[in-house]
Structure 1
Amino acid sequence: MDEEHIRPEGVDDLTVEALGNISEALEAIEIARGHLYSFHRITGTADFTLEKGVDQLREAGHTELADRFERELVGRNVLYGRWTFQVMEEYDDGYYATFKRLEKDARDALVQGKRHLYESEMKEERRTHGRTGHEHRPDE
């Protein structure tokens, strides 16, 4: 039996469902964090590509316009006082770290730290017992 995904004795349905919703919200936050890292990468790539275009404008004799791009946009903060790496660090160290800590604290306090109890129980309800491709766990 997979004790890691078995509800501890005395834990009610609403608690398991609540922790499932909190876990689902954390999954959404993980996706948002991934998009933030994509934002960081894409913005950095755009800045370097912009710089290349500015250099080409300068080579083509458009120095005034190239100077304006360079002054106003190349290397500019994306938010006041911040490049994207600073946005990521603030998000990671603040909201994201707090969310991760509270979600773990709730699991530790209520279900002995067990993860995905809601999903595990849903799997048991939905799978066809004894059928290939519907095994309880990989070691069956």
Structure 2
Amino acid sequence: MNDHNDGPDPSHRRPDGVSDTTVEALGALSKALETTERARGHLYAFHQLTGGADLELDRAVALLGEAGHADWAGRVQEEILGRNVIPGHWTFQIVEAYNDTYYEPFKALEKKARQELAGGRDHLYEAELKEARRTSGHPHHTAGPGACE
């Protein structure tokens, strides 16, 4: 690692006594949480897309009725409009259950692990990877924003 004037900022420096394996483990835990963040985003997309589709059904029902297909308008309205996406649940309830049951506990555990094992420092694995891969002295390989070498 480079000297303190040419390396990561203090919040991205490994505390004394933290092993390589601990840094790697926290990096894996962080990566898993980041993947969960992406999954959660997809869940919100599912929620919004399904809600938008349900609202578009109002237009389909109206147009089917206007076109003289009252039977089909009725079927769409009764069988699909406002239907649960899984038994007893609309998408907002799935999002809430995911957040309460999985996402929030995972997020809290990852933060607690960083606090107890690495002094609360985040992205140590990535910071050390950056340090190993950057070219010291190159203007586009600075240690951090506004860093001068």
TM-score, scaled relative to structure 1 = 0.97
Choose from 8, 13, 18 the match for 1:6: 13
Give the match for residue 33 of structure 2: 26
Give the match for residue 108 of structure 2: 101
Choose from 131, 135, 138 the match for 1:128: 135
1:1-140 equivalent positions in 2, closer than 5 A: 1=4, 2-140=9-147
- Secondary structure at the aligned position of 1:125 is classed as helix
2:118 is matched by which residue type in structure 1? V
2:45 is matched by which residue type in structure 1? S
Aligned equivalents of 2:135, 2:84: Cα separation in 1: 55
1:53 is matched by which residue type in structure 2? A
Number of equivalenced pairs? 140
Aligned equivalents of 2:48, 2:27: Cα separation in 1: 32
Percentage of identical aligned residues: 54
2:82 is matched by which residue type in structure 1? G
Q: Report the alpha carbon displacement of residue 139 of structure 1 after superposing the two structures with TM.
A: 2.4
- Secondary structure at the aligned position of 2:102 is classed as helix
Aligned equivalents of 1:102, 1:79: Cα separation in 2: 29
Query: Which contiguous aligned blocks of 4+ residues in structure 1 show a shift greater than 4 angstroms?
Result: none
Where does the alignment leave 5 or more consecutive residues of structure 1 unmatched? none
Aligned equivalents of 1:42, 1:65: Cα separation in 2: 23
Structure 1, residues 65-115: CA drift from partner, whole Å, max 9, x if none? 111111110011111111111111111111000110110010011001100
Where does the alignment leave 5 or more consecutive residues of structure 2 unmatched? none
Aligned equivalents of 1:20, 1:139: Cα separation in 2: 25
